[in-house]
Structure 1
Amino acid sequence: MSELLKRTLSGVFYVVLLISAILISEYTFIALFFLFGIVCLYELQKLLKLNSYLNYIVLTIALVFFGILKYHEYSIITLLIVTIFVKILLLKDLIIINKIPLFEGKKYILTLFYLISSIIFLTLIPYENKEYSPYILIGVFLLVWFNDSFAYLVGKNFGKRKLYERISPKKTIEGFIGGLVFAMIASIGVAYYTKTLDYKTWLIVSILVSIFGTCGDLIQSKLKRQANVKDSGNIMPGHGGLLDRLDSILFAGTFVYAYLLII
């Protein structure tokens, strides 16, 4: 019971902190994601057995450059293309290769394009016609939470066929479908209450979040298995590391941003 209480309290604190920072102003939101980025970078470097202060400098410069100064132009398109390419290669490693090759250069590629650029794209999502629109990002987070929660509940109660047993024994195909369906249903409520994007856009965002969020979760699980650890850290009692909580949205956020950019 004490473990459940710890998990609940830390989860509530995380949600309240996140939503409050997003709603107060774009600067509190960017500041929080800077702190999230520092913690996640520390946890990822521990998983990869990499010790580089340069990555923290790159994260800081990138957030100032893209998040505060709002310098986008062609540079953000280039970063987006490279990030999506790296993530597709990671999906290939997830499906085809038993062990993700982690030579020194690959470790830096992962920190730069699996994590740092993913944080940048999350900070760029809540803008509509260059105006800060916090409810867009809150809506994306809500869809992630709906997907994760119902994937767990449906999988626990009805799951029989394993989704990817070698990497994540508890995930089931039924759970994945349940998470996807309930996220799609939740997108109707998100569209209605946030009054930002239209119903069709939120529906497609819910599908992107479910598919690529699950992929991000599986890639993070594979990295943890290779590092022979259960969690990426212990900053959140009962939940593990912050990277464990953000792995889905960090991976999916890039594809959500790309879709919003296109439309």
Structure 2
Amino acid sequence: MKKSYTPCEKIPTCKILGVNIAAINMEWLVNFLVDHIKSLSGQYICVSNVHTTVMGYEESDYRAILNNSLMSIPDGGPLSTIGRRWGYVKMSRTTGPDLMKEIFELSSNKGYRHYFYGSTESTLKKMRINLLKDYPGLDIVGMYSPPFRPIAAMEDEKIMQQINETKPDFIWVGLGAPKQEKWMAYHKDKINGLMIGVGAGFDYYAENIKRAPLWMQKFNLEWLYRLLQDPKRLFKRYLRTNIKFLWLIKRGV
């Protein structure tokens, strides 16, 4: 599939630890997607936070994946806070789940078609039920839970064909970082529709985990709320990447 996106307007970016973070806010992002969705087929958007930004700083291959995306939006509050300090005054946090909500609310009137790739069969089933309840008329054209084992080339071709046959506008990818970014980069210009890696977004809409209270989101503490829900998996990750991020920013890297 040929690349269909032609830049219609410049996407402002703020380079943080070598990663090009989109210096945008939710209103700008939604308007951009609504205006250009038909020309974005085959592209991908990364939802970036402190963890993925530090990984991008440490790993050149992963940094290239982030920087070769259509854009890496500031899911992590510290990214937008730093951006505003550096002069991008309209930059604000744009989380994956919030972006999903904004697009879902527009979908019935816009006729958007949605495909969901990732997570488990159980989570996808619960998410479908909740989405159709909360967003009547949402056009879910397909869902696929990939195996945890490596996928052979012929199997991947079949999956791509299945996705493309549904003609989605949005392909929401919930594999977690860095797997979802690598998957999207590999399938760039091969899959019809705009791919957006939303990490835990599937779990939120399946109600497997809860979003932080609004006051915690406002003060960039959603990471702490997630840590309290899943300390065993997240403690070492947050301890290392958050401290390193603050240290590197203070050094002016």
TM-score normalized with structure 1 length: 0.28
Q: Which has the higher strand share?
A: 2
